[in-house]
């Protein structure tokens, strides 16, 4: 498990159960990916507590990490004009190249919208992929510089879509469900018994190893599972080494707090509650509701 002393992962084991498919039955399983609620009256409260603890840890690590870097006024462009090293460029040739290695490209790619604001759009998915790679490689000094550059609207790369979403936020969308699932399996004994080889694991591995347009958020998942475009069944799932899995969980968590740090530097307050609650609702069938709070903000919570 990861952060087990701060995040109550046992909440999943007490509130959700896995319903095995019975091919002899005419009744469909009451769950999208095999998991269904135990129906405990305290479920919403317990899950809400878990979400708050998870958010608190992400934000705490985000603030601690930011303190390691220079102040915005001290974040100047690189002297050699390169945003990342040639070594890193050669490591990720599908996403990094000599063009997007230069700050000039990021400035020249900007256009002005009808409101007079500098923006990026769906034509700049390649730049979003660069950000994903740099977050994955912990190149936060460069990203903080870009976030503070007056001619680089980095936050506009957060949400990009044309049929499917490929903005920088895909880092979070990929990391959260896997971080939750593997911690759930560890705390429930599923890793020891092999119970992790279930329909949800199949769905997650398929989704997070899929190739697509602007796919750099998949990199850490390809590395762990050792496959692209997994299309097998439970018995075909790749073996996962426990030591590597622990490092993977640590890395997933670092992706979350690095993303939070970067977005905060851009002036964006990440809605972690909606991100985490929506993920748990989708994959485990927890009931939610979206309401407007006293400040007029929409919130998605368990009910």
**pLDDT of residue 293 exceeding 90:** no
Cα 56 to Cα 11, 40, 85, 156, distances in angstroms: 17, 25, 34, 25
Radius of gyration of the chain (CA): 20
**pLDDT of residue 26 exceeding 70:** no
Query: Concatenated DSSP letters for 238-279?
Result: PP--HHHHHHHHHHHHHHHHHHHHHHHHTT----HHHHHHHH
**pLDDT of residue 257 exceeding 80:** yes
Which of helix, strand or coil describes residue 30?
coil
**pLDDT of residue 276 exceeding 80:** yes
Q: What is the pLDDT of residues 190-235, one digit of tens each?
A: 998 999 999 999 999 999 999 999 999 999 999 999 999 999 999 9
**pLDDT of residue 83 exceeding 80:** yes
The mean of the pLDDT values for the chain is 94
Q: What is the pLDDT of residues 154-189, one digit of tens each?
A: 999 999 998 889 999 999 999 999 999 999 999 999
The whole-number pLDDT of residue 30 equals 63
- Percent of the chain whose pLDDT exceeds 90: 84
The whole-number pLDDT of residue 29 equals 64
Least confident of 21-30, 198-207, 245-254: 21-30
The alpha carbon of residue 32 and the mean position of all alpha carbons in its chain are separated, in whole angstroms, by: 21
User: In the predicted model, what is the mean pLDDT of residues 54-68?
Assistant: 98
For residues 88 and 3, the model is more confident at 88
Backbone angles phi, psi at 71, to 5 degrees: -70, 155
The whole-number pLDDT of residue 21 equals 74
Q: Is the pTM for the entire model greater than 0.85?
A: yes
The whole-number pLDDT of residue 25 equals 61
For residues 212 and 296, the model is more confident at 212
Label residue 28 by pLDDT band (50, 70, 90): low
The whole-number pLDDT of residue 23 equals 64
Q: How far apart are CA 130 and CA 120, in angstroms?
A: 14
| Residues across the chain | 303
């Amino acid at each position: 498990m990861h952060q087990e002393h701060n995040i109550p992962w046992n909440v999943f084991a007490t509130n959700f159960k896995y319903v095995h498919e019975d091919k002899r039955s005419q009744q469909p399983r009451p769950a999208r990916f095999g998991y269904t609620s135990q129906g405990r009256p305290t479920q919403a409260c317990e899950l809400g507590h878990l979400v708050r603890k998870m958010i608190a840890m992400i934000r705490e690590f985000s603030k601690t990490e930011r303190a390691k870097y220079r102040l915005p006024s001290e974040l100047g462009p690189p002297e050699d004009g390169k945003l990342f090293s040639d070594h890193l460029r050669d490591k990720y040739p599908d996403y990094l190249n000599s063009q997007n290695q230069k700050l000039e490209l990021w400035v020249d790619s900007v256009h002005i919208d009808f409101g007079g604001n500098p923006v990026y759009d769906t034509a700049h998915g390649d730049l979003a992929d660069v950000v994903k790679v740099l977050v994955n490689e912990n190149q936060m000094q460069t990203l903080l510089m870009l976030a503070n550059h007056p001619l680089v609207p980095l936050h506009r790369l957060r949400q990009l879509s044309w049929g499917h979403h490929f903005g920088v936020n895909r880092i979070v969308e990929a990391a959260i469900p896997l971080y939750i699932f593997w911690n759930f399996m560890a705390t429930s004994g599923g890793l020891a018994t092999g119970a992790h080889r279930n329909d949800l694991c199949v769905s997650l591995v398929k989704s997070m190893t899929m190739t697509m347009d602007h796919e750099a958020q998949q990199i850490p998942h390809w590395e762990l599972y050792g496959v692209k475009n997994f299309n097998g069944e439970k018995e075909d799932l790749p073996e996962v080494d426990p030591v590597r899995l622990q490092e993977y969980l640590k890395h997933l968590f670092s992706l979350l707090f690095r993303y939070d740090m970067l977005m905060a530097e851009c002036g964006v307050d990440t809605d972690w509650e909606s991100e985490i609650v929506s993920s748990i609702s989708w994959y485990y069938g927890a009931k939610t509701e979206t309401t407007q709070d006293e400040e007029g903000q929409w919130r998605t919570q368990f009910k």
